[in-house]
Structures are given as structure tokens and as C-alpha cells.
Amino acid sequence: MADHIICKTDEIAEGKARQVQIGGREIAVFNLGHRFAAITNRCPHEGAALCHGKIAAFVSANGPGEYRTEDEKIMVRCPWHGWEFDLETGRSYCDPNRVRVKTFDVQVKPGETLAEGPYKIEIFEVRTEDDYVVLSI
Ligand code: FES
């Protein structure tokens, strides 16, 4: 498993997604505000691009007029026919045991750890004292 840098965190607006192509796979990466999620970009119904879907928290009800949103269970609604998929598990709302999209691990990492690379140079502290340049080794 290799890491692939997608973009800076602020390059995907909150509530929106970006489509990326990695190793022949089309993947939708969503910014959910407090975290990111990634799923296969093609809807298993008829192939719509899920990156254009609307995301919303799952809503459940105990009875008429009594509903609540489950903020940890975020769904994406397919833009063509409205099938909904849980962005954590990839399972569809309509048939969770048979219809699903693949999910991918996505993390936010600090830029300096990604830019580090395999090559390192030795760094020495340098300071000036009474107009002399001093190198500390
Ligand atoms: S293509 Fe997604 S619900 Fe039909």
C-alpha cells in the first residue's frame, strides 16, 4: 500500500468532493469538515459520478415528528437517482448487505512529513555574534 498525495486540505471545500485517478481507479475524496472520506467514484446502480452527489447526515425517526440527525453517519446521495451510501462503510441505505461502494483509507498528514523525502542533509546552527558568522558543529 502506497501513500498518494491528493491536495492540500483547503483545496476541497467543506461538503464537497474531488475526483482523483489512482492506479486506474476513479475515487471520490470528500471533505466532511471534521474528517475526509474516500469511496469509489462510480455508483453501482448506473455509474453516476458520486463526487457530484450531495452529502448529508443520516436522519432517523422514532415516530412521526420525532427525528434526529446522526452526525457521525454521513451519507452521499447519488446525483442521478438518489441512492445513498454511508461514507464510512460504503454500504447503501436501500440494500446495505448487497449494494455498496468500496471505501478507502484517507488521512490528513502534516506537509513537512510528506516533503521530507528519502534524502537528508546535515543542518548546523548558524548565528551572528558581533559581526562574526559562527557555525556550531
Ligand atoms: S446511478 Fe446512482 S442511483 Fe442511479
pTM of the model: 0.80
| Lowest mean pLDDT across 64-68, 83-87, 88-92, 117-121 | 117-121
pLDDT at 1: 74
CATH of the domain at 105: 2.102.10.10
The number of domains in the chain is 1
Alpha carbon of 124 to ligand 1 centroid (Å): 58
Alpha carbon of 137 to ligand 1 centroid (Å): 64
Tally of CA atoms within 13 A in the half-sphere of 63 that contains its CB: 0
Tell whether 92 is covered by a domain: yes
Tell whether 125 is covered by a domain: no
pLDDT at 12: 94
Query: Biggest alpha carbon distance in the chain?
Result: 80
Tell whether 136 is covered by a domain: no
CB 114 within 8 A of CB 107: no
Tell whether 80 is covered by a domain: yes
Tell whether 133 is covered by a domain: no
Ligand 1 cavity residues, CB under 6 Å: 43, 45-48, 78, 80-81, 83
Domain around 32: 9-110
CB 77 within 8 A of CB 54: yes
Distance CA 76, CA 43 (A): 11
Tell whether 134 is covered by a domain: no
